[in-house]
């Protein structure tokens, strides 16, 4: 019998539903399928805003006026380049690393090599360094995509917006207006999403007053895990293996009959359809038509309908990954780069929450309930059986 004062404590495995901080940055209502940034509904931001404007909102708590947005855009553009030495070292990586590993290493190299990346001690300095990372993340990610495809990186174009420039650096050519809009919306939708695993990882590191590059690499490392990022890769691979709506019906029915998980369905927080999936569904249809992938969209829609019919009443519905992979595929983005794109967007939320948290910083120090043996006597090694 234990006499530990911890024995009657309630345990929340994985810290589920434990309130660890307050925030005014983002809010999601899993019951209603609602996602809000700084008080603005994600549907309105996706319809009317831009990623640059949304980043400003997350960082500064308000929508910018025209002059503020122009100044902020100019700053992002000026921060886009990544040192050649960083890209050269990534290109010389001796093994075919996962792109997320290369992204994580790239951020670390930038902090080590770039003399402008001093460890900021004050909040404004950390915010400024975070803005630099937000601007550089697309350049680094696109360069990794091209390196892995045995192509030379494409330098950023200062005349293009954030989303358009990202597509240009990946594909080496200017994107169509619809593609630019869809990429922009995708970045907005992934920019922030509550106290998820990668955001929490960033905050844990930042709360020690470590540098922001270290905090962001922690977020990237958490995002790399298949339970957090990467489900959209699995979804698109499944869709590509199916060749018709009949194939999709058979696949969905088999998964449901065997009581298995439909990839791209279900969310730790949402008990209804993910609002981001609602938005991306329409854009997925639009881009699939103009890129000759309409059949792929119809296959996804067939699976979605059968999945909702079977699991919807249980609160298991499509999440953002169900359609994001299809969108990225239609935009010509390599499958292995889907999760790095997540990081391109989420860096904005990571930085915003880091800056917010350290204003009233308190290092994270949860406890673990000890359930191991007690009272053992040490036995010298020669006497052990």
What three-state secondary structure class fits 40?
strand
Known catalytic residue: 321?
A: yes
Q: How far apart are the first and last CA of the chain?
A: 28
**Nearest CA-CA partner of 136 in 178, 148, 113, 280:** 113
Q: How far apart (Å, rounded) are the C-alpha atoms in residues 92 and 112?
A: 17
What three-state secondary structure class fits 41?
strand
Q: Are 346 and 179 in contact (CB under 8 A)?
A: no
- Catalytic residue, chosen from 190, 321, 360, 382, is 321
Q: How far apart (Å, rounded) are the C-alpha atoms in residues 183 and 358?
A: 31
Residue 70, both tokens: 């122009």
Q: Which residues pair with 35 in a beta bridge?
A: 28
Residue 163, both tokens: 């989303």
- Catalytic residue, chosen from 162, 213, 267, 274, is 267
Residue 83, both tokens: 């040192």
Q: How far apart (Å, rounded) are the C-alpha atoms in residues 232 and 323?
A: 7
Upper half-sphere CA count for residue 171 (Cβ side, 13 Å): 18
Alpha carbon 343 to chain centroid, angstroms: 4
Upper half-sphere CA count for residue 180 (Cβ side, 13 Å): 13
Q: Are 345 and 187 in contact (CB under 8 A)?
A: yes
Q: Are 139 and 112 in contact (CB under 8 A)?
A: no
∠ Cα 114 75 27 (to 5°):
100
Q: Which residues pair with 265 in a beta bridge?
A: 318
Known catalytic residue: 74?
A: no
Q: How far apart (Å, rounded) are the C-alpha atoms in residues 218 and 372?
A: 30
Q: How far apart (Å, rounded) are the C-alpha atoms in residues 68 and 47?
A: 21
Q: Which residues are catalytic?
A: 267, 321
């Amino acid at each position: 019998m234990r006499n530990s004062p911890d024995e009657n404590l309630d345990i929340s495995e994985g810290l589920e539903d434990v309130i660890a901080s307050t925030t005014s940055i983002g809010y999601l209502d899993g019951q209603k399928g609602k996602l809000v940034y700084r008080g603005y509904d994600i549907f309105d931001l996706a319809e009317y805003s831009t990623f640059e404007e949304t980043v400003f909102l997350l960082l500064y708590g308000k929508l910018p006026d025209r002059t503020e947005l122009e100044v902020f855009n100019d700053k992002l553009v000026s921060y886009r380049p990544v040192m050649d030495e960083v890209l050269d070292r990534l290109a010389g990586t001796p093994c075919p690393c996962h792109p997320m590993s290369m992204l994580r290493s790239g951020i670390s190299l930038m902090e080590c090599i770039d003399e402008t990346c001093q460890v900021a001690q004050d909040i404004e300095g950390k915010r400024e360094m975070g803005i630099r990372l937000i601007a550089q993340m697309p350049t680094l990610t696109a360069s990794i995509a091209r390196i892995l495809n045995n192509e030379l990186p494409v330098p950023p174009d200062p005349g293009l917006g954030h989303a358009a420039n990202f597509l240009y650096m990946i594909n080496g050519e200017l994107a169509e207006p619809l593609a630019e809009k869809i990429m922009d919306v995708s970045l907005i939708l992934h920019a922030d999403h509550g106290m998820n695993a990668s955001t929490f990882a960033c905050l844990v590191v930042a709360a020690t007053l470590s540098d922001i590059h270290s905090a962001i690499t922690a977020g990237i490392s958490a995002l790399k895990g298949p339970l957090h990022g990467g489900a959209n890769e699995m979804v698109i691979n499944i869709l590509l293996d199916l060749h018709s709506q009949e194939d999709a019906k058979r696949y969905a029915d088999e998964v449901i009959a065997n009581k298995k998980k439909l990839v791209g369905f279900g969310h730790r927080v949402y008990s209804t359809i993910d609002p981001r999936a609602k938005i991306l569904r329409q854009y997925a249809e639009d881009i699939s038509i103009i890129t000759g992938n309409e059949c792929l969209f119809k296959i996804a829609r067939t699976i979605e309908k059968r999945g909702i019919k079977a699991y919807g009443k249980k609160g298991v519905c499509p999440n953002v990954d169900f359609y994001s992979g299809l969108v990225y595929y239609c935009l010509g983005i390599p499958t292995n780069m889907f999760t790095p794109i997540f990081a391109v967007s989420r860096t904005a939320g990571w930085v915003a929450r880091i800056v917010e948290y350290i204003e009233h910083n308190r290092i994270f120090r949860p406890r673990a309930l000890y359930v191991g043996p007690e009272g053992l006597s040490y036995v010298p090694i020669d006497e052990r059986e």
